[in-house]
Amino acid sequence: MKSKEVTSLHTGESELPEGVTRWRQGRIRDGIPTGAENESYHFVVRHEDFLDLLGPSPRIEKVAETNAHEGLLYMPDTDSLLFTTLGVLEHAPNQIKRLCLKTHEIFFISENTDYANGMTLDCQGNLLICQQGCKGSPAYIEKIDLKTGVSSNIADNWYGRRLNGPNDIVVKSDGSIWFTDPDYPMEQGFGEENPMLKNQVYRIDPDGTVDVVADKFQKPNGLAFSPDESRLYVTDTGYYSGVPEVDKNRPHSITVFDVKNGRQVHDRRLFASICAFDGSSLGMPDGIKVDTAGRVYVANADGVQVINETGVMLGLIRVEKAVTLAFGGPLLDTLYIVNDHEILSVKLNATGAGLPYAGTYHKLPQYAKQ
């Protein structure tokens, strides 16, 4: 059954695919609610270009029902997903697991981590993990050679001052590693008290040197590069202080920088302020990814919001309490989403960017070396 054609605000537009509805700008004084015209549908169109991304018959599929919280990462060698579990603050273990996409079997990678969070692969296919640390065990960036199983600590301080709690991590094609470092471990009660640093964004040079690249964030969280690596996007989840209370005056936004000389960021500016499509809550922009067309995908409490490279909000893939996301599959055209108890997938007319190892492994044209 197809949704009804909207004529009041979208005169002349064609009918939509099954499960797709339009977003409506409401009027409070006139009693017209803002939000999806059909609240039961999974795909909400705010701009017509969203339909090109979705294709003629979009659908959300459940891949697995499991404790999946952060660090979602596609592993091309094994056609599987890695993810971290949500450790209960009463000292329950935070684990890393692997889901085989062919059999849907789930295996342990690590049964007890230092509160592992974001993960990525470097250009050689080594696993990089944001280990947030805990009391008595300082935070660090772990590198695991997946061929030998050898683990190493590649960064745990800036000028001798310990990190707060690395949250998300990305790798640039030049081999440099960039990560965010908010103080959520301290605020949530499992990390070291009395942080020694501001909440900042860091870069690890291929020679191992750690430098600050950006500050003035409340809670720098997810980060991603544009396809050509000329821009850096950083989500700020300062709206959520780490405890149940929230503050409407704190950030719930995506900041974008221009990247100069491969290592410096300039021209800081707002890319998008994030709010639930129905206004039920201010945004919690967490995980963020980019495709090769420059579209930005950000996980929020109401799902995955998709924004084009000029900052136009295209639409919403509705997933309750989405936390993070990752592109995967042989063509990197499947978007995987986690929300603490499920792993979901959506096939899109898009190719994930910022995955140098997976892209070259699958010999995708967009990742061919110049």
45-55 residue pLDDT tens? 999 999 999 99
Share of the chain above pLDDT 90, in %: 83
Beta bridge partners of 171: 177
State residue 96's pLDDT score. 95
Distance in angstroms (rounded) separating the CA atoms of residues 159 and 196:
11
Q: Which residues contact 320 (CB under 8 A, 6 or more apart)?
A: 301, 302, 303, 339
Q: Which of 181, 177, 213, 209 is nearest to 197 (CA)?
A: 181
State residue 191's pLDDT score. 82
Report the CATH number that the domain containing residue 205 is assigned in CATH.
Answer: 2.120.10.30
Q: Is residue 86 within 8 Å of 96, Cβ to Cβ?
A: no
State residue 7's pLDDT score. 34
Is residue 266, in this structure, part of any structural domain at all?
yes
pLDDT band at 106 (very low <50, low <70, confident <90, very high): very high
| Of 26 and 135, more confident | 26
Is residue 330, in this structure, part of any structural domain at all?
no
State residue 189's pLDDT score. 81
Q: Is residue 181 within 8 Å of 163, Cβ to Cβ?
A: yes
Tell whether the model's pLDDT for residue 12 goes beyond 60. no
Report DSSP letters for 51-65, one per residue.
Answer: HHHH-SS--EEEEEE
If you average pLDDT over residues 131-157, what whole number do you get? 95
Tell whether the model's pLDDT for residue 4 goes beyond 70. no
If you average pLDDT over residues 213-230, what whole number do you get? 97
333-344 residue pLDDT tens? 999 999 999 999
Residue written as tokens 């997976």? 358
State residue 92's pLDDT score. 56
Is residue 102, in this structure, part of any structural domain at all?
yes
Tokens for 177? 């590693």
Is residue 350, in this structure, part of any structural domain at all?
no
If you average pLDDT over residues 102-118, what whole number do you get? 92
Is residue 52, in this structure, part of any structural domain at all?
no
Q: What is the pTM of this model?
A: 0.94
Tell whether the model's pLDDT for residue 24 goes beyond 80. yes
State residue 193's pLDDT score. 84
Q: Is residue 357 within 8 Å of 332, Cβ to Cβ?
A: no
State residue 198's pLDDT score. 95
Distance in angstroms (rounded) separating the CA atoms of residues 287 and 296:
11
Q: Which residues contact 57 (CB under 8 A, 6 or more apart)?
A: 17, 18
Is residue 222, in this structure, part of any structural domain at all?
yes
**Number of domain units in the chain:** 1
State residue 3's pLDDT score. 38
Tell whether the model's pLDDT for residue 237 goes beyond 60. yes
| Of 242 and 207, more confident | 207
Tokens for 301? 């409490």
Tell whether the model's pLDDT for residue 20 goes beyond 90. yes
HEC string for 242-293: CCCCECCCCCCEEEEEEEECCCEEEEEEEEEECECCCCCCECCCCCEEEECC
Tell whether the model's pLDDT for residue 137 goes beyond 70. yes
Q: Which of 75-79, 83-87, 195-199, 246-250 has the highest mean pLDDT?
A: 75-79
State residue 11's pLDDT score. 35
Distance in angstroms (rounded) separating the CA atoms of residues 338 and 299:
9
Tell whether the model's pLDDT for residue 275 goes beyond 60. yes
302-328 residue pLDDT tens? 999 999 999 999 999 999 999 999 999
Beta bridge partners of 275: 282
Range(s) of the domain holding residue 291: 66-301
Is residue 199, in this structure, part of any structural domain at all?
yes
State residue 35's pLDDT score. 97
Is residue 22, in this structure, part of any structural domain at all?
no
Beta bridge partners of 61: 345
State residue 333's pLDDT score. 98
Beta bridge partners of 20: 43
pLDDT band at 248 (very low <50, low <70, confident <90, very high): confident
Distance in angstroms (rounded) separating the CA atoms of residues 304 and 81:
19
Beta bridge partners of 291: 352
If you average pLDDT over residues 199-209, what whole number do you get? 97
Distance in angstroms (rounded) separating the CA atoms of residues 252 and 299:
12
Residue written as tokens 């965010």? 180
Tell whether the model's pLDDT for residue 197 goes beyond 70. yes
Tell whether the model's pLDDT for residue 188 goes beyond 70. yes
